[in-house]
């Protein structure tokens, strides 16, 4: 018998938020299991027994398989529950959506992760102001590059969302990054296409249900 999927995650984690969006877009039921990053629960032995990399999100599938890495998890969900599709049907479209998604997940997010920020402060002795400058610098550089990519989309990729007229993997990555950017007071000027897509996504119930403030472990 198949079990219920379990998502180990944290309301503020943007990689977790990506997976929650994908689950919501596909209408999939799952158990929400909070791992409090600020209290270091991801470093505790109980979590280490489940997670090899000590990061969230971690999806335990209905067959008990443990999957890490939000992009791999979303692609797994897309292959096992193909409707609505989060990647285009054609190879060129898929490559472009993955490129948009990875320009957030691989170029921006790793530089602004909790453990990176903690290293800057604890080991390199940067003060709060320098840490925030680091954060804002890499978010802004990355989002400006993202905006240029949106502006350069070919005709078949243009539409209401990052790629075409339905949300894809790229939108799952974009929205959490904008939430984080807003939380850290990043300069979001000069990003009209990016912010318009964000707004359209946030008008959809799936994105609203997945957002940090709607999570069971949400804090003010
Ligand atoms: N590339 C990974 C990133 C996972 C990741 O770094 N998650 C963050 C939260 S967004 C985390 O667990 N951070 C804990 C830490 O940095 O100590 C993914 O996409 O799942």
Over the stretch 134-178, which tens digit does the pLDDT of each residue have? Answer: 999 999 999 999 999 999 999 999 999 999 999 999 999 999 999
Q: Is the pLDDT of residue 115 over 80?
A: yes
What pLDDT is recorded for position 65?
Answer: 96
The per-residue pLDDT for range 6-23, each reduced to its tens digit, is 999 999 999 999 999 999
pLDDT class of 220 with cuts at 50, 70, 90: confident
What pLDDT is recorded for position 2?
Answer: 81
Q: How far apart are CA 189 and CA 44, in angstroms?
A: 40
pLDDT class of 93 with cuts at 50, 70, 90: very high
The per-residue pLDDT for range 172-201, each reduced to its tens digit, is 999 999 999 999 999 999 999 999 999 999
> From the CA of 171, how far away is ligand 1's center (Å)?
18
Q: Is the pLDDT of residue 1 over 90?
A: no
70 lines ligand 1 (CB under 6 A): yes
Helical H segments across the chain, by residue range: 14-25, 45-48, 70-80, 91-105, 114-122, 128-151, 169-183, 192-202, 205-210
The per-residue pLDDT for range 19-45, each reduced to its tens digit, is 999 999 999 999 999 999 999 999 999
103 lines ligand 1 (CB under 6 A): no
Residue 78 sits at φ, ψ, to 5 deg, of: -65, -35
CA 165 from chain centre, in angstroms, equals 20
User: Does pTM top 0.75 for this prediction?
Assistant: yes
Sheet containing 5-9, strands listed edge to edge, beginning at the edge strand earlier in sequence? 30-34, 5-9, 58-60, 66-68
> From the CA of 76, how far away is ligand 1's center (Å)?
18
Q: Using alpha carbons, select from 78, 33, 73, 25 the residue that is nearest to residue 209.
A: 25
What pLDDT is recorded for position 3?
Answer: 84
């Amino acid at each position: 018998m198949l079990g219920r999927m379990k998502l180990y995650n944290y309301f503020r984690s943007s990689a977790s938020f990506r997976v929650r969006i994908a689950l919501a877009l596909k209408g999939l039921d799952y158990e929400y299991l909070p791992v409090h990053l600020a209290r270091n629960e991801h470093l505790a032995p109980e979590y280490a027994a489940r997670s090899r990399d000590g990061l969230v999100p971690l999806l335990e599938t209905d067959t008990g398989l443990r999957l890490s890495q939000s992009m791999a998890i979303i692609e797994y969900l897309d292959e096992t529950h193909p409707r609505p599709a989060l990647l285009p049907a054609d190879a060129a479209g898929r490559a472009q959506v993955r490129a948009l998604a990875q320009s957030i997940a691989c170029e921006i997010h790793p530089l602004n992760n909790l453990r990176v920020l903690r290293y800057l402060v604890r080991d390199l002795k940067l003060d709060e102001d320098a840490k925030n400058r680091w954060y804002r610098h890499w978010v802004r550089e990355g989002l400006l590059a993202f905006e240029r990519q949106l502006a350069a989309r070919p005709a078949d990729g243009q539409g209401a969302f990052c790629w075409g007229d339905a949300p894809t993997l790229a939108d799952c990555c974009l929205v959490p990054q904008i939430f984080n950017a807003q939380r850290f007071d990043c300069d979001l000027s000069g990003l009209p296409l990016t912010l318009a897509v964000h707004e359209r996504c946030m008008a959809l119930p799936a994105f609203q249900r997945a957002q940090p403030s709607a999570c069971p472990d949400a804090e003010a």
